[in-house]
Amino acid sequence: MAIPTPHNQARTGDIAKTVLMPGDPLRAEFIAKTFLDDAQCYNNVRGMLGYTGFFNGKRVSVQGHGMGLPSIGIYTYELYNMYDVDNIIRVGSAGAIKEDVKIFDLILAAGACTDSNYADQYQLPGTYAPIASHSLLEPAVTIAKERASRYHVGNVLSSDVFYRDCGSALDWGKMGVLAVEMEAAALYMNAARANKNALTILTISDELHSGQELSAHDRQVSFTTMMEISLKLAASL
């Protein structure tokens, strides 16, 4: 069968209905090799590794999405519209904005504010508010509670800017925004447009309010609580 996209060498049927997506493709490889049974690599185009295997007997895929709204926008659009994926769970890192949000805390992103112009493509007569799918958010909260994990549910900021020239992401804290990352808003918009499901689960890797941060290696391999919650959710779908 034909290869459907320029960015993904998977053939039709290679990818499961539910896909976990970290930004870092090496984190995708870590998840696949640590948690999935019989994991098979279906993509390495541009180094954006993708695997399909089994977790608790349920077929699940995991694939990197890169950094920023444009990158996740491409990969999730293709998964939803060309590979018939139903559920995407982003598993990523974030910087804490609110002072009560600490390193290694989990964020279940109910909504995603953004400073991006990604929604302009839809030509809507106003400002679109990207939100998670309740069908994924509710069971994720239940799983986090059962594990006695330290978690927060609320709004995040999906920013186009990592090295900001002026202003501060901390300003969003005035509106109750918990943390900043760079992809959730595009994921949620793509899911809404495709009538599919999406959720972003984040682990705090640094605190904007205090300056504390984790190393790149820790970000790659130490977020196992988030991974396990996401995989348990995926196996329940």
Annotated catalytic residue, options 14, 105, 206, 218: 206
Cα separation, 48 vs 61, whole angstroms: 13
Give catalytic status of residue 171 as yes or no: no
* Residue at 151: amino acid letter: Y
Please give, one letter per residue, the 3-state secondary structure of 100-132.
CCCCCCEEEEEEEEECCCHHHHHCCCCCCCCEC
Cα separation, 140 vs 201, whole angstroms: 9
- Phi (first) and psi of residue 103, to 5 degrees: -55, 135
Task: Say which DSSP state 11 is in.
Answer: P
H helix or E strand, kind and range, residue 152: strand 151-158
Q: Is 198 in contact with 136 (CB distance < 8 Å)?
A: yes
- CA of 184: how far to CAs of 5, 156, 191, 205, in Å? 22, 8, 11, 16
Cα separation, 111 vs 177, whole angstroms: 9
Structure tokens at 147: 């594990």
Residues assigned a catalytic role: 206
